[in-house]
Amino acid sequence: WQHDYTILTDPSLVWSLYFTLFMILFLENGLIPASFLPGDSLLILVGVLVAKGIMNGIIILLLLTLASALGCWLSYIQGKWLGNTMIVKKWLSYLPQHYHQKANHLFCKYGFSALIISRFIAFVRTLLPIIAGLSSLNDIKFQFFNWTSAFIWVLVLILAGFLIGNTKIFYYYEAQFMFILIFLPLILMLFSLTSIIYFLLRYNISEKK
C-alpha cells in the first residue's frame, strides 16, 4: 500500500505473493462461485511488478500459466463428470443469462479454439470449459487448447503490464497508476461479487414464488 518495493523483494514475501496469485487464478478459472475474482487486472499488475524487478518474469509466467490451465481443467472436469448433478446446475444458474449465451455462441462457432477467445472475457473463461466438458469432446484436444490459451492469456496481459510499467508517463504518475492498479481488482471483485449475490437472491426469491 505504501509502494515500498524494497519490502516486496523479500524472498518470503515474494513467494507468498506468488502463491496468492496462483490460487486466485486457479480458483477464478476453475470454480464458478470464484469467477468474480479479477484475473485480468491482476495479471496487468503482475506485469508492472515484473517491470519493477520485484518478480521474476519467467517464473511468474510459468506459474500463472499452470494455475490458469489447471483451473480450466478443473472446470472441464466439472462439466464432464458432474454435468448432470444438481450442484453444477445450481452454480450455472447463478450466472447472468447473457454469459451463458456468450459462452454457447463462442463454443458453437469456434469449438475448442473458443477457449483462446474466452480467456479474455471474464466469467466466460470459467463457464466455457464446463460447456466443453458437457459436450464430452476429446480430452487431448481440450488440453492442447487449454494450455495454449492459458499461456497466451497470461503472456499478453503480463506483457501489457510490463510495457505500461516502462513508459515515461507511468514513471511520472507512478503513485497514481499504482493506486489504480491496486484498487481496480478490488473494485471489480466487489462489483462482480455483488452481481452474483444479486442474481442468487433473485433466483431464490423466484424459486419460492
What span, in angstroms and rounded, lies between the C-alpha atoms of 32 and 35? 5
Q: Is the pLDDT of residue 70 over 90?
A: yes
Q: Is the pLDDT of residue 203 over 60?
A: no
CB atoms within 10 A of CB 147: 18
C-alpha cell at 29: 478459472
Q: Picking from 37-41, 42-46, 59-63, 171-175, which range would have the lowest pLDDT averaged per residue?
A: 171-175
Q: Picking from 22-26, 68-72, 97-101, 116-120, which range would have the lowest pLDDT averaged per residue?
A: 97-101
Q: What is the pLDDT of residue 81?
A: 76
Ranges of each domain in the chain? 2-178
State the average pLDDT over residues 68-83.
85
Q: Picking from 29-33, 136-140, 149-153, which range would have the lowest pLDDT averaged per residue?
A: 136-140
Contacts of 173 (CB under 8 A, 6+ apart): none
CA angle 20, 25, 27 (to 5 degrees): 95
Contacts of 42 (CB under 8 A, 6+ apart): 21, 24, 25, 185
Q: What is the pLDDT of residue 160?
A: 92
State the average pLDDT over residues 104-118.
73
State the average pLDDT over residues 161-170.
87
Q: What is the pLDDT of residue 86?
A: 67
State the average pLDDT over residues 1-21.
72
| pTM for this prediction | 0.76
Buried b (16+ CB within 10 A) or exposed e, 61-88: bebbbbbbbbbbbbbbebbbebbeeeeb
Q: What is the pLDDT of residue 12?
A: 72
pLDDT in tens, 79-100: 777 666 666 566 666 555 666 6
User: Which H, E and C letters describe the chain, residue by residue?
Assistant: CCCCHHHHCCHHHHHHHHHHHHHHHHHHHHCHHHCCCCHHHHHHHHHHHHHCCCCCHHHHHHHHHHHHHHHHHHHHHHHHHHCCCHHHHHHHHHCCHHHHHHHHHHHHHHHHHHHHHHCCCCCHHHHHHHHHHHCCCCHHHHHHHHHHHHHHHHHHHHHHHHHHHCCHHHHHCHHHHHHHHHHHHHHHHHHHHHHHHHHHHHHHHHHHC
Q: Is the pLDDT of residue 26 over 80?
A: yes
Q: Picking from 9-18, 91-100, 184-193, which range would have the lowest pLDDT averaged per residue?
A: 91-100
